[in-house]
């Protein structure tokens, strides 16, 4: 394979990766815990976009509320990261690329 062919492949892969990243940023991830007491929604850009607390939860201990919120946020962000990693691995056939790609 020639250098020009490799360059074209790399450029196509970069376009494909950019498209996947854009799609992932728009995707929503949702986690509900505590029997629906805490609901969080994040996007693929790892930003929390919604947080809902059931009124009954507000009667609970502050520490318990904080732990439930942190657990839900951590779980939803972990799911988003896993989805991104999976999509990129599929695109790159498992080849680890340096940051910026």
The answer as to whether 48 is a domain residue is: yes
1 pLDDT more than 80: no
Q: How many domains are there within the chain?
A: 1
- Nearest CA among 12, 22, 3 for reference residue 91: 12
What range does the domain containing 80 cover? 21-84
The answer as to whether 31 is a domain residue is: yes
The answer as to whether 11 is a domain residue is: no
Q: What is the pLDDT of residues 38-77, one digit of tens each?
A: 999 999 999 999 999 999 888 888 999 999 999 999 999 9
The answer as to whether 57 is a domain residue is: yes
What CATH number is given to the structural domain containing 40? 3.30.1310.10
Burial of 48 (0-12, 13-18, 19+ CB in 10 A): middle
């Amino acid at each position: 394979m020639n250098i020009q062919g490799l360059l074209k492949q790399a450029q196509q892969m970069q376009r494909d990766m950019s498209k996947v990243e854009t799609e992932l940023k728009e995707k929503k991830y949702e986690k509900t815990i505590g029997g629906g007491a805490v609901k969080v929604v994040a996007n693929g850009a790892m930003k929390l976009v919604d947080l809902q607390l059931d009124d009954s939860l507000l009667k609970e201990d502050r520490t318990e509320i904080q732990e439930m919120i942190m657990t839900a946020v951590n779980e939803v962000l972990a799911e988003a990261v896993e989805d991104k990693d999976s999509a990129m691995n599929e695109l790159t056939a498992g080849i680890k690329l340096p940051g910026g790609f």
